């Protein structure tokens, strides 16, 4: 395409109402109005461009079609004080590479900026935006029609957390990552085998630095081109949905990287970020912080979240680093932060932003969920805004994770002194809608893999890991496990390598994967284990006091009267013969699962498939079972 392509300034996608909503912070379909769009005007196909740059003196479109020279395709500013520049370039089609050349009205600033609303970007280290469409022939109608049940509070939600770039590599082709299309085959097959209900992707939104794992996002409307096109990513989601697997996306509205072609200092001013570094710069991540007090920025971010739900059929958004957004003094020393108008440390703009985000998500997509990664004791994160909550559907339970991993890392001989680390979580388990997360954060930066955290020889390590998962699946709350944990990876996670798939040739690792698969199927098939994950009525202690033997026993209850599952856990390597546990009903109790079965690599101790309840009172219950508790074992039983 030559430099002489004409440019038109009389074409717009924005109405006066769009501008009104945008300036109010209430326009949540911004990618339909801003960015680049393929369209036909008076019979001529071309591309319309629109960008918000209120402090610019001039803006033009530069690209591979005009030699990247700004004089060829100037944009015109709208006469409504919106700060939006527009133009239509006839004849310019899909696949064109472009940026906005911005001449600031402030100082002497000039820069070529990527499009904040681009659907597709060049692959890093290249930085141009690409004109693209969102056409895809979706085949997931059956999933979309039924997903309200699959995503809901009463559903068996167990999430497999995945980093796309290091799941599996192609050894024959320079050890590259799988593409989205290749991932559709390998990931779907593996998730079905392991029995998870959902997949959660670490941020796939376009990001310059691979080592950030996606948490330094620049393209808030584009899946990274490292693994293929937007349509390839849609095809991956489509395949998962067709196989009954939900999709959760990590999303980062808290901060963004300082790369010069991105959002930072966009029009020669701090447009997207706070100008004052005490509010606008994040020392931990060397990143800028979004200014959600600016209505247009709020609309930009909420539009991004809703975009993935709408155009990519995503089932849930997991919001990263919520704690950093709630506190003005997060990770800052005295004098490095600015109090709010009341003199407090709460970030009032972000609180309002998150409430609005959640209100809009559940208004427009009531069959999806929002999930908060929030590591403090901020109250009512997963309660509705009209009750004073933040409005998230669920929240990661960092306290349970921390206490549980601390307990499991101890030698069993000392565990009786730390029994409270296992039981404390129940006292607050129903204050939020919790997800029990054993995430990527627990297996990096020298923390070691879950298997390597376990004490003892190899046999005990594997038994401990099976017990950890048994405790997690018995405990109230939805489940999340990072990839590699499901087969007991030895090495801690490395984003530049693939998982240790070769371990699946070894029986102990096969046993872990079989156990996780059976736990997922039990969790799915037994309503008592999932229907009331967020309700106190769904949990009942039988005995939490036996610290000396390091044994816990509790019941999970479903909504149907009499529907119950008994969970008994032995946290020492000592088998417990004739261990009496009180139960509420007489008759035969079937052993549903036993982590010590030989199938999983255990020693084969158990209860021969079933136990008859005796009319002997125990633990203030009229009947009791005499059980064999396997060493470092988890046993699930149900009245027949």
Q: What is the DSSP string of 349-375?
A: HHHHHHHHHHHHHHHH-TTSEEEE---
- Three-state DSSP at 408 gives helix
Report if residue 79 sits inside a domain: yes
Give one word for 510, left, alpha or beta, with left for phi > 0 and alpha for psi -120 to 50: alpha
Report if residue 579 sits inside a domain: yes
Residue ending a domain, choose from 103, 130, 157:
130
Half-sphere exposure of 3 (CA within 13 A, CB side): 7
Question: What mean pLDDT is predicted for residues 13-27?
Answer: 98
The pLDDT assigned to 609 comes to: 95
| Residue 555 CA: distances (Å) to CA of 298, 315, 542, 640 | 45, 31, 7, 15
The pLDDT assigned to 4 comes to: 67
CA angle 113/116/118 to nearest 5° reads 100
- Partnered with residue 287 across adjacent β-strands are 257, 282
**Beta-sheet strands, E only, within 270-328:** 281-282, 287-289, 316-319
User: Are the beta carbons of 160 and 199 closer than 8 angstroms?
Assistant: yes
Q: Render pLDDT for 521-545 as a digit per residue (tens, 0 to 9).
A: 999 999 999 999 999 999 999 999 9
Whether pTM exceeds 0.95: yes
Does the pLDDT at position 2 exceed 60? no
Q: Render pLDDT for 493-502 as a digit per residue (tens, 0 to 9).
A: 999 999 999 9
Report if residue 561 sits inside a domain: yes
Does the pLDDT at position 411 exceed 60? yes
Half-sphere exposure of 383 (CA within 13 A, CB side): 10
Looking at residue 112, which CATH number applies to its domain?
2.60.40.10
Distance CA 326, CA 501 (A): 39
Q: In the β-sheet with 281-282, what is the strand arrangement from edge to edge?
A: 255-257, 287-289, 281-282
Number of domains in the chain: 2
Report if residue 400 sits inside a domain: no
Question: What mean pLDDT is predicted for residues 392-420?
Answer: 98
Q: Render pLDDT for 293-308 as a digit per residue (tens, 0 to 9).
A: 999 999 999 999 999 9
Report if residue 231 sits inside a domain: no
Does the pLDDT at position 284 exceed 90? no
Active site residues: 320, 373
Report if residue 572 sits inside a domain: yes
> What percent of the chain shows pLDDT beyond 90?
98
Write 456-460 long-range contacts (CB < 8 A, 24+).
456/411, 456/412, 456/573, 458/508, 460/412, 460/573, 460/632
Strands 176-177 and 198-201: unpaired
Residue ending a domain, choose from 106, 130, 154:
130
Strands 478-482 and 158-162: parallel
Query: At how many degrees (to 10) do helices 458-474 and 507-525 cross?
Result: 10
Q: In this structure, what DSSP letter does residue 290 have?
A: B
Confidence of residue 1 (pLDDT cuts 50, 70, 90): very low
Looking at residue 542, which CATH number applies to its domain?
2.60.40.1180
Which helix (H) or strand (E) element contains residue 303? helix 295-311
Residue ending a domain, choose from 130, 152, 186:
130
Report if residue 540 sits inside a domain: yes
Does the pLDDT at position 196 exceed 50? yes
Distance CA 491, CA 42 (A): 61
User: Are the beta carbons of 354 and 286 closer than 8 angstroms?
Assistant: no
Q: Render pLDDT for 131-170 as a digit per residue (tens, 0 to 9).
A: 999 999 999 999 999 999 999 999 999 999 999 999 999 9
The pLDDT assigned to 5 comes to: 83
Instruction: Output the average pLDDT for the chain.
Output: 97
Query: At how many degrees (to 10) do helices 180-194 and 507-525 cross?
Result: 80
The pLDDT assigned to 3 comes to: 61
Higher pLDDT, 3 or 8: 8
Q: For residue 541, what are the domain limits?
A: 536-639
Report if residue 359 sits inside a domain: no
> What percent of the chain shows pLDDT beyond 70?
99
Q: In this structure, what DSSP letter does residue 320 have?
A: P
Confidence of residue 107 (pLDDT cuts 50, 70, 90): confident
User: Are the beta carbons of 631 and 579 closer than 8 angstroms?
Assistant: no
């Amino acid at each position: 395409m030559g430099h002489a392509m004409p440019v038109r300034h009389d074409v717009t996608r924005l109405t006066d109402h769009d501008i009104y909503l945008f300036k109010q912070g209430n326009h949540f379909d911004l990618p339909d109005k801003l960015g680049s769009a393929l369209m036909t005007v008076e019979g001529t196909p071309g591309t319309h461009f629109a960008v918000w740059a209120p402090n610019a003196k001039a803006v033009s479109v530069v690209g591979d079609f005009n030699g990247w020279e700004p004089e060829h395709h100037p944009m015109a500013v709208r006469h409504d004080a919106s700060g939006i520049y527009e133009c239509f370039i006839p004849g310019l089609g899909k696949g064109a590479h472009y940026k906005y050349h911005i001449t600031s009205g402030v100082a002497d600033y000039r820069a070529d900026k990527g499009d904040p609303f681009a659907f597709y970007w060049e692959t890093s280290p290249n930085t141009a935006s690409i004109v693209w469409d969102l056409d895809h022939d979706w085949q997931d109608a059956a999933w979309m029609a039924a997903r309200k049940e699959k995503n809901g509070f009463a559903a068996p939600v167990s999430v497999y957390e995945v980093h796309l770039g290091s799941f599996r590599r192609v050894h024959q082709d320079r050890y590259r990552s799988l593409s989205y299309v290749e991932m559709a085959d390998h990931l779907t097959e593996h998730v079905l085998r392991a029995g998870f209900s959902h997949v959660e992707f670490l941020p796939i939104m376009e990001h310059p630095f691979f080592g950030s794992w996606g948490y330094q996002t620049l393209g808030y409307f584009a899946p990274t081109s490292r693994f293929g096109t937007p349509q390839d990513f849609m095809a991956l989601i489509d395949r998962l949905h067709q196989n009954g697997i939900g999709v959760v996306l990590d999303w980062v509205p808290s901060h963004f990287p300082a790369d010069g072609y991105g959002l930072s200092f966009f029009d020669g001013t701090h447009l997207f970020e706070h100008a004052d570094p005490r509010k606008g710069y994040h020392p931990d991540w060397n990143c800028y912080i979004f200014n959600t007090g600016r209505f247009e920025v709020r609309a930009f971010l909420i539009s991004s979240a809703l975009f993935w739900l709408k155009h990519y059929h995503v089932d849930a958004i997991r919001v990263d680093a919520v704690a950093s957004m709630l506190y003005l003094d997060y990770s800052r020393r005295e004098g490095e932060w600015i109090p709010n108008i009341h003199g407090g440390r709460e970030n009032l703009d972000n609180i309002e932003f998150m409430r609005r985000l959640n209100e809009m998500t559940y208004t427009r997509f009531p069959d999806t969920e929002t999930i908060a990664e929030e590591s403090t004791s901020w109250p009512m994160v997963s309660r509705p805004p009209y009750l004073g909550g933040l409005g998230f559907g669920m929240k990661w339970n960092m306290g349970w994770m921390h206490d549980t991993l601390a307990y499991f890392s101890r030698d069993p001989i000392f565990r009786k002194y730390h029994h409270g680390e296992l039981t404390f979580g129940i006292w607050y388990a129903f204050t939020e809608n919790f997800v029990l997360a054993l995430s990527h954060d627990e297996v990096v930066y020298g923390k070691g893999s879950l298997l390597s955290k376990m004490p003892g020889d190899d046999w005990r390590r594997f038994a401990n890991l099976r017990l950890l998962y048994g405790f997690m699946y018995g405990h109230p709350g939805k489940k999340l496990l990072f990839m590699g944990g499901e087969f007991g990876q030895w090495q801690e996670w490395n984003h530049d390598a693939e998982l240790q798939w070769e371990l699946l040739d070894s029986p102990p690792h096969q046993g872990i994967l079989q156990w996780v698969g059976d736990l997922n199927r039990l969790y799915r098939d037994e309503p008592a284990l999932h229907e009331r994950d967020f309700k106190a009525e769904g949990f009942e202690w039988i005995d939490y006091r036996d610290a000396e033997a390091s044994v816990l026993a509790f019941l999970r209850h479903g909504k149907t009267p009499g529907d119950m599952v008994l969970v008994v856990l032995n946290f020492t390597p000592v088998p417990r013969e004739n261990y009496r546990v009180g139960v509420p009903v007489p008759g035969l109790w079937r052993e549903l699962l036993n982590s010590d079965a030989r199938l999983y690599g255990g020693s084969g101790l158990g209860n021969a498939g079933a136990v008859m309840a005796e009319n002997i009172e125990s633990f203030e219950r009229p009947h009791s079972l005499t059980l064999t508790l396997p060493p470092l074992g988890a046993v699930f039983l149900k009245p027949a």
